[in-house]
Amino acid sequence: MTPDHPIPPLEAAELAHVLRWYADMGVDAAVDEVPHDRFAESAAVTRQSQAPHASAPIGAAQAVSAHAVAPARSTPASVTASAQDAVLSAQDLAAGAKTLDALRAVLESFDGCGLKKTATQLCFADGNPQAKLMFVGEAPGADEDRQGKPFVGRAGQLLNRMVAAIGLAREDVYIANVVPWRPPGNRTPTPQETAICLPFVLRQIALVNPDIVMCLGGASAQTLLALKDGITKTRGRWHKLRIGGGDLPEREIAVMPTLHPAYLLRTPAHKRLAWQDFRAVAKALSGA
C-alpha cells in the first residue's frame, strides 16, 4: 500500500486470529531492536523454578515411594541435572496422588515442566476412569490444547471410528498422553520433558487400572515400555507394563502398541495393520 492508501488497522477479532496463528506455529517471543540472550533468560527461569527442589532434596523414604510408581525405570542419561531434580519431584508428587482428581490437581500446580508455560491449558484425559481399555498417545496438538482434551482433532475422530469398529464408544475407554501439555508448534517433546512427565502418566495408568493399554505411536510405546525399536517392529505384539506399588497393588497389565491415528491419516494403506491390532485387543477384552 502507498502512503496515500495506508493499510487499515486490524479489528480485534482479526488480531486475535493472527495471534492464535502465531501460537499454533510455535512463536513464543517477539523480535525487537535490542538483542536478547534467550538462552541466558531461559537458564535463569529454569534455575529459579528448580530452586525449591535444590533446597529441599527428597529423603530416602520419599524416594522409595516415588520410584514405586515405575520401579523398573531410571532417568535417561540424556536428562540434565536440573531436569533430574524435576523428575524426582514429579515422582514424589505422583506417588502422593491418591485419586485421578488429585493427580490432575497436582499437574495443574506443577511447574517443573517448561511446556506448561507455553501451552494454553493442561490436557489431562478424557473418557471413562473405570475403563478396561486405555489409550496413551505422545502429546496434545493444537485442537487438544484449545479444548483441554486428548485426541479431539482429525486423529481423534479417526480413533473414535476405530474404537467404534470393535464395539466400543469413546465414553467406554480412557484416553491420555505421556506429555499433558502441547509442545510449541507441535514439535516432538524433548527427552527431558518426557522424563519429567512420565511419573504422572504411570500413576494415571495405575489409578485407572485398565486391563489393556494401547500405545498410540512409537513415542508412546518407547516411553512406557522402554523399547528401542520403532513402531513398525513393536506393533501387533503383546508387551507387559508393571504398574502400582507403594500404596497401590503392584501388577502387570497387557500393552499393545499400534500405529498412531495421525500416521494413518497420512498413510491410509496401513489402516489394515492397525485394524489387526484393534481386533487382537477386542478379542483379549472379550476373553476369547
pLDDT digits (tens, 9 = 90+) for 75-108: 555 666 678 999 999 999 999 999 999 999 999 9
Average pLDDT over residues 154-176: 98
pLDDT band at 49 (very low <50, low <70, confident <90, very high): very low
The percent of residues in the chain predicted with pLDDT above 90, rounded, is: 70
**How far is it, in rounded angstroms, from Cα 205 to Cα 133?**
10
- Maximum alpha-carbon separation in the chain: 77
| Higher local confidence (pLDDT), 280 or 7 | 280
pLDDT band at 159 (very low <50, low <70, confident <90, very high): very high
Q: ∠ at Cα 201 (195, 202), nearest 5°?
A: 90
Tell me how long the chain is.
288
**How far is it, in rounded angstroms, from Cα 177 to Cα 200?**
10
pLDDT band at 179 (very low <50, low <70, confident <90, very high): very high
**Of 43-57, 59-73, 198-212, which range is least confident?**
59-73
pLDDT tens for 213-230 read: 999 999 999 999 999 999
Q: Is the pLDDT of residue 72 over 90?
A: no
**Calculated CA dihedral for residues 226, 160, 120, 91, nearest 10 degrees:** -30
